[in-house]
Chains A and B, each alone.
Chain A
Amino acid sequence: MNDRPKPYRLLPWIIPGTLVVAWWIVSQSGWIPGYLLPHPKDIAKTGYAYIFGLDGNGPYAGRFLTDATASLLRVVMGFSLAAFVGVPLGMLSGRLEWVEKLLSLSVNGVRAVPGISWLPLSLVWFGIGMKTTVFLVSLAAFFPIYLNAAAGARAVPPILLQAGAMMGVGRIRGTFAILIPGAMSHLVAGLRLGLGISWAYLVLGELTGVPSGLGAVIMDARMSGQIDVIIVGIALIALLGQSSDYLLRTLLRMLFKSARRTP
């Protein structure tokens, strides 16, 4: 990507740039009142205070680090749980017909239930806080991870497995040296989708009144009518979501040849 000509590298920033400029013009002209959509200038100020905690921004000043750590921990835990269950189970059901038969009805049944419907139940089961959020995140992230792992395992060309068999490769090595690398592009796709959904369900879990977390801040700011804090929260979630996706891809490329070398 880096050896592309410069205009190409600017391309992704055109839409956000245009939006910010349009927003600036709208706010400056006063077409939309500040209590509905604050001026970008004020957002920047609030964001700065929220992150670095300098001039008193009331209860939110300098809370970013605490909130981000809490949220990240929940996402990482929920996502990891989903990945550790989803990848092996998905690959098994992609390779073994009886596993597929055993799971498909139940998985599709549970998948048909919108994640939000689990919220009341998980509040009863796990109470408000960490456990509920992790439960919701891992439940939601499981499906794309599982389904893509199954599709990936099915899509590994049989000739590669035959090649392994005739070279004397056993089951265990076949799984790690042929099946997983062969399914890698699907696995990566599933994990990235799962991580994206993790952030969505993180906010849902945190809306229920946990003391810290980015979702909690957004909800809290709505109560106190601080639109600027809500927008700062949204922007930071977007930023963290993007960065975590980038980190995930980098990590997978570092760990697996097949993630680096297959398109």
Chain B
Amino acid sequence: MSTRLKLISAKPAQAVEPEAVLEVQGLSKIFRVNQTTLHALENIRFQAGTGELICVLGPSGCGKTTLLKILSGFIPPSAGQITLNGLPVFRPGPDRCVVFQEDALFPWLTVAENIAFGLKGRGFGSRSVRQETERFLSLVNLEAFRDYLPREISGGMKQRVALARVLILNPKVLLMDEPFAALDAQTREEMQTFLLSLWKKLSHTILFVTHDVTEAVTLADRILVMDKNPGRIRHDIAVPLKRPRMRETDAFHHHCKHLYAMLRTEKAE
């Protein structure tokens, strides 16, 4: 607990404008299905600063997963530009790693082998691969499960492996697509706390997609609230609450209520 508080004080909230890592400008995506056009995303623009934890919040069908797929390079945008440290982004790459909602571990590899996977075949010696794997195994508290196969561990553990296997690559941005949505409520809360503790240690820039208001308020420095038909960013709001955030406090409730109201008015329109 004490280290956590120290780390928070070391990171003054909103003191300096952080340098932008990820910059998205005029991003649109249009799907054409049977002569009907769907504006999945319209004129999305935002910046993510170094070490920022940004949540993208919106109802299902607002295009938030599409946004993440475009950012990760799996699908091309219809218009607009994405730059990472000033360089344009075209295809998938280890500078923008993804933690998927569903289980995307390799079922024929053990926990340790899954974590080491990304490091292999890029010129690291086997000793340094082993050392790094050990480091990240212990970082996600899975040393005891190193030789287990994905099907032998729980959903929460799987997502911890999924985190470790991308964090080991030291991505510039970590993209998370509702990674805890398939977990039970208790595990989800544990994973949120766990993600925050990892983020404090490694201070990655994280873009976290969710439809869960409480989750967004628990995690985010900033929340991008999305709207659907067409999918666009309606609000960009800061969450100035101190961490660790207690769900029982009035301030927390206030933020949640505020966000629920935003989502409701969007639906009504």
Contacts and interface: CB of A to CB of B under 8 A. Distances in A.
Interface of A: 157, 159-160, 162-163, 165-169, 173, 177-178, 181-182, 184, 257-258, 261-262
B104 interface: yes
Nearest to A260: B108
Contact of A162 (B92, B108, B109): B92
Contacts of A182: 106, 108
Q: Which of A160, A163, A173, A261 has the most CB of B within 10 A?
A: A163
A159 B121 contact: no
Given A160-B106, A167-B94, A257-B109, 20 more contacts: A159-B102, A162-B92, A162-B100, A163-B105, A165-B74, A166-B73, A166-B92, A166-B93, A166-B96, A166-B98, A167-B117, A167-B165, A168-B93, A168-B122, A169-B118, A169-B121, A182-B106, A257-B108, A262-B107, A262-B108
B166 interface: yes
Interface in B104-134: 104-109, 117-118, 121-122
Given A165-B92, A167-B97, A159 B104 contact: yes
B149 interface: yes
Contact of A178 (B74, B92, B106, B149): B106
A164 to B, nearest CB: 8
Given A184-B108, A261-B107, A159 B100 contact: yes
B231 to A, nearest CB: 21
Contacts of A257: 108-109
Interface of B: 72-74, 91-94, 96-98, 100, 102, 104-109, 117-118, 121-122, 149, 165-166, 169
Nearest to B91: A165
A186 to B, nearest CB: 13
A58 to B, nearest CB: 53
A168 B107 contact: no
Contacts of B98: 162-163, 166
A155 to B, nearest CB: 13
A165 B74 CA distance: 9
B42 to A, nearest CB: 25
Q: Which of A157, A168, A184, A257 has the most CB of B within 10 A?
A: A168
A184 to B, nearest CB: 7
Contact of A168 (B72, B74, B169): B169
B3 to A, nearest CB: 31
B104 A162 contact: yes
Given A160-B106, A162-B74, A261 B96 contact: no
A177 B118 CA distance: 11
Contacts of B100: 159, 162-163
Given A165-B74, A168-B169, A181 B108 contact: yes
Contacts of B105: 163
Nearest to B165: A167
A166 B70 CA distance: 12
23 contacts: A159-B100, A159-B102, A159-B104, A162-B92, A162-B100, A163-B100, A163-B105, A163-B106, A165-B92, A166-B72, A166-B166, A167-B94, A167-B117, A167-B165, A168-B122, A173-B121, A177-B117, A178-B106, A182-B106, A182-B108, A258-B108, A261-B108, A262-B108
